[in-house]
Amino acid sequence: MMHSKFAKLFPMSLLLMLLFLGITAPVQATDPGTGSVADRIAPVGQVQLTGEPPLETESEVAAVEESVEPRAAPTPSRSDYPDIGVSSRAIVWVLAQLHLFFGALVLAVPLFVLIIELVGLFTGDERYDDMAHEFMKISLTGFSITAILGGSLALVLFLLYPDFMAYMMRVFGAQWLVYAGLFFFESFFLYTYYYGWNAFRYGNRKWVHLSLGLMLNASGLTIMVLANSWATFMMAPSGVNEVGAVVGNIWEVMKGPLWNPINLHRFIANIAFGGAVVGAYAAFKFLSSSDPEKRAHYDWMGYTSNFIAILAFLPLPFAGYWLMAEIYAYSQQMGITAMGGILAWLFIVQAVLIGTILLAGNFYLWAGMSRTDGSERYKWLVKFIALVLVVTFLIWVTPHSLILSASEISQLGGSHHHILGPLGIMPAKNIAVNLMLIVTFLSFQLYRRSDKVATVRWAPAGNALMVAIYVVAIANIIFLGVYYGYFTNTVYKVGSSVAQVASTLVVIISGIVIDTLMFRNAKILPSHWGRIPDRAQYALFALPIAFTWLMGLMGYVRSSVKTHWHVYTVMKDNSPDNFIPTIAYAGNMITIVTVLFLLCVLFMFWVANLSGTRQVKPAAEGGAA
């Protein structure tokens, strides 16, 4: 059958090819041209006379001239920016941020889905496999939404910022095509991974499925790092000279000083964000259901999502620290614009958001302790953890310098409050944030221990070591912050914060190592999934809302540090929106984007549930009745 079809198609194709050649050959042959043979064949540019040097076509000559004199970045005037009656920046802001939210979500979900699938494979517990499949199901529409938003964003950018986009096209050249091509790969792996879930479920086929998931993640991550290179080029251009003319190859253009810090920061943040969003789905399903079995399932799903979100969130400040350090190293002026200039106030809002995330994450863990009877051993510690969290949160949000009138300054006795002033500067905030992370890890550790009883002989010594590590790390963080922060100059202040972060990391890593060893073969106490107060589920809503708002805020800061430049130092922004807006304006924009995202996510979840719904066939008219 197959053979006979092929036999029919082959001669037909051959015939078509001959026909095509037959049409084109006379066209070339019948063009007589004028002058010498060389002149007549030059326009074709394919033929070279024997013994003659290669022909130079006009386009080649132009290319040589162009390569001698690279083109500088354009310098559009205000009238070069199309005015459609609405703030161009506001439109791009909304679309870009929404695109980024969905992009983050659909890059993160396959990542932890793959890990959960692997856990399922190694533990043999099919619940993991089903949960991973469900995570994919609820985020599937997100891929289409991301693509729609990305396409709209590109069109809007070409419409509203034509000179800027022309420049970016010129700088990144064929990389755009690679970027577009990757979507074919990602779509292929996405659909085969999702729809092949049950077809490749066991044995060797499972490894095929896992490979598909791996390739899905590989193509997704490549898309992300390519897109990141545009953002980081705009912040810290490389591969171009001081007027923006391209002087390096595409790799030199992409590999700017901020590329890898942004890659790492976004990679980790995406996981935290994705975990938080699917956690909200689980919480909603938990609250909507009265079936104990379903509640148990969604409680477990919510816990797993929260676990992913908080685990990814803990190292995020360190990635952020690296990014800011690289920004300072690239341009101290840019760093200070972000951290000490007009944008510095936004970090107060950031503190409120991160405080919310940590409080919600901790609250969920404390509430989740009620699932096991063994948690009674640790509950007495919760009030102390809560106290530390609240105090450190308040220190973190304490502002330093305020805009004050003369009378207010005289009432205050100076531009800073004599008690609260010292709490407003970085050393106090470094102490606060490190302690917040440490006690959050403590909550997590207590939760993980609450359903286990260690059986190893050295358990008391292990506990004593753990307590000692906590005490020493906390003392070290406070000492470093106070001594080097207030009694030496700025250079040591910055240096000491690295040691503080290291202390926090030591607690986290040693905690994981000690607990892994100490609770090997531990006695497991019964857990009752679904035995958690309803109010705890609201923490799972607070997390994605705070994460979304936080991403919107920090994305705004990242973009605004360029001030009045499209591409920092090489292409000025002369559009009507080339100023940094007020914080309240930025807050309104971020809220609009967050609410739009929330609605889109609701749609995504609704569509996911729709696929599992089947309408009951209506009774036939004039039936038995």
Partner 1 sequence: MKVLFKTLGFSLGLTLVFTLVTYLLPQMKGEAPVEKQVDLGSLTMDDFVALGEDLFNNKGTCTLCHKPPPLGRAPDIQGENMVALSAKRLADERYQGEAKDAAGYIMESMLDPSRYVVATWGKKGSNDSESPMPVIDKAPIQLSSMEMDAITAYLQAKDGNEVTVALPTAEAAAEVSAAPAGGSASAPAPAATADEAMAKYACLSCHAMDSKDALVGPGLVDVGGRLTPEEIRQSILDPNAVMVEGFPPAMPADFGTKMTVNELQMIVSFLAEKKG
Smallest gap, in angstroms, from Cβ of residue 9 to partner 1? 56
Cα distances (angstroms) measured from residue 336 to each of 4, 37, 61, 332? 73, 67, 47, 6
Query: 110 with 220: CB under 8 angstroms?
Result: yes
Smallest gap, in angstroms, from Cβ of residue 140 to partner 1? 21
Smallest gap, in angstroms, from Cβ of residue 285 to partner 1? 9
Complex with partner 1: residue 509 or 595, whichever CB lies closer: 595
Q: Are strands 565-567 and 571-572 parallel, antiparallel or unpaired?
A: antiparallel
Both tokens of 623, joined, read 């039936």
Complex with partner 1: residue 320 or 399, whichever CB lies closer: 399
Separation of CA 498 from chain center? 24
Smallest gap, in angstroms, from Cβ of residue 334 to partner 1? 8
Complex with partner 1: residue 35 or 413, whichever CB lies closer: 413
Smallest gap, in angstroms, from Cβ of residue 517 to partner 1? 39
Complex with partner 1: residue 535 or 617, whichever CB lies closer: 535
CA separation for the pair 137, 210 (Å, rounded): 16
Complex with partner 1: residue 76 or 110, whichever CB lies closer: 76
Complex with partner 1: residue 214 or 598, whichever CB lies closer: 598
CA separation for the pair 503, 14 (Å, rounded): 73
Phi, psi of 572, deg, nearest 5? -75, 150
Any idea how long the chain is? Answer: 625
CA separation for the pair 327, 316 (Å, rounded): 16
Q: Taking phi first (over 0 means left), then psi (-120 to 50 degrees means alpha), and beta for anything else, what does residue 244 get? A: left
Which residues have a Cβ under 8 Å from the Cβ of 582 and sit 6 or more positions away? none
Complex with partner 1: residue 224 or 323, whichever CB lies closer: 323
Smallest gap, in angstroms, from Cβ of residue 582 to partner 1? 4
Q: Tokens 């749609």, residue? A: 603
Smallest gap, in angstroms, from Cβ of residue 547 to partner 1? 11
CA separation for the pair 501, 492 (Å, rounded): 14
Q: 273, exposed or middle or buried, with CB in 10 Å at 0-12, 13-18, 19+?
A: buried
Smallest gap, in angstroms, from Cβ of residue 294 to partner 1? 13
Smallest gap, in angstroms, from Cβ of residue 349 to partner 1? 5
CA separation for the pair 132, 586 (Å, rounded): 36
Complex with partner 1: residue 327 or 454, whichever CB lies closer: 327
Complex with partner 1: residue 405 or 615, whichever CB lies closer: 405
Cα distances (angstroms) measured from residue 328 to each of 36, 252, 321, 337? 64, 21, 11, 10
Query: 276 with 544: CB under 8 angstroms?
Result: yes
CA separation for the pair 325, 323 (Å, rounded): 5
Cα distances (angstroms) measured from residue 31 to each of 19, 23, 24, 40, 56? 19, 13, 11, 9, 20
Q: Which residues bind partner 1 (CB under 8 A)?
A: 242, 283-284, 287-288, 331-333, 336-337, 340-343, 345, 348-349, 352-353, 356, 399, 402-403, 489-491, 538, 541-542, 545-546, 549, 560, 563-565, 568-570, 573, 578-584, 586-588, 590-591, 594-595, 598
CA separation for the pair 237, 568 (Å, rounded): 7
Complex with partner 1: residue 349 or 442, whichever CB lies closer: 349
Q: Where are the alpha helices (DSSP H) in 236-258?
A: 250-254
What is the SS3 assignment for 129? helix
CA separation for the pair 216, 458 (Å, rounded): 44
Smallest gap, in angstroms, from Cβ of residue 498 to partner 1? 11
- What's the number of CA atoms in the CB half-sphere (13 Å) around residue 371? 26
Smallest gap, in angstroms, from Cβ of residue 564 to partner 1? 3
Separation of CA 3 from chain center? 50
Complex with partner 1: residue 248 or 587, whichever CB lies closer: 587
Smallest gap, in angstroms, from Cβ of residue 289 to partner 1? 9
What does the radius of gyration of the chain's CA atoms come to, in whole angstroms? Answer: 30
Complex with partner 1: residue 82 or 340, whichever CB lies closer: 340
Query: 446 with 378: CB under 8 angstroms?
Result: yes
Smallest gap, in angstroms, from Cβ of residue 425 to partner 1? 8
Complex with partner 1: residue 71 or 564, whichever CB lies closer: 564
